[in-house]
């Protein structure tokens, strides 16, 4: 899957006691109701964010992951995460909406009735 939007926030890389690393980025989608989407980059993928800055327009390849967790009280909860695996900068020009120019007709428009001279009316009604 892919998401496209503007980089809203870049977070620093986090390293955990196990040696696991992650870095997060928030992009603001470009749709009627823009959504801030948090995307995680794990392990060797965190370097993909090094060349980005806030305000960049990007297209991000993502995977949606889900997991189940059972609390000590026996209650089951479900969590989702969005994991990025590819980032591509998108040019500002391509992301701006374009307006179609009205076409100009090569031949003049006529207001004459094209059927005015037809006396042969063979319609059954």
DSSP states along 57-106: EEEEEEEEEEEEEE-TTS-EEEEEEEEEEEEEE--HHHHS---PPPPPPS
The SS3 assignment for 11 reads: coil
Q: Is residue 37 part of a domain?
A: yes
* 98, pLDDT greater than 50: no
**CATH, residue 30:** 2.40.50.140
Q: What is residue 26's predicted lDDT score, i.e. its pLDDT?
A: 98
Long-range residue pairs from 22-28, CB within 8 A, at least 24 positions apart, any chain? 22/46, 23/49, 25/49, 25/52, 25/60, 25/84, 27/3, 27/58, 27/60
81 pLDDT higher than 50: yes
Domain of 8 in residue numbering reads as: 2-89
- 98, part of any domain: no
Query: How many domains, in total, are found in the chain?
Result: 1
Give residue-wise pLDDT tens across range 3-46.
999 999 999 999 999 999 999 999 999 899 999 999 999 999 99
Least confident segment among 20-29, 75-84, 86-95, 111-120: 111-120
Whether 44 is in a domain gets the answer yes
pTM for this entry: 0.68
Q: Indicate whether 108 belongs to any domain.
A: no
């Amino acid at each position: 899957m892919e998401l496209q939007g503007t980089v809203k926030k870049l977070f620093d890389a986090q390293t955990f006691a196990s040696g696991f690393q992650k870095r997060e980025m928030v992009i603001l989608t470009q749709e009627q109701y823009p959504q801030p989407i948090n995307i995680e980059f794990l392990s060797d993928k965190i370097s993909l964010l090094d060349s980005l800055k806030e305000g960049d327009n990007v297209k991000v390849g993502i995977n949606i992951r889900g997991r189940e967790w059972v609390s000590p009280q026996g209650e089951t909860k479900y969590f989702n995460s969005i994991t990025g695996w590819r980032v591509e900068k998108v040019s500002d020009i391509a992301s701006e909406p374009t307006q179609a120019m009205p076409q100009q007709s090569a031949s003049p428009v006529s207001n004459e009735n094209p059927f005015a001279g037809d006396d042969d009316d063979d319609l059954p009604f």
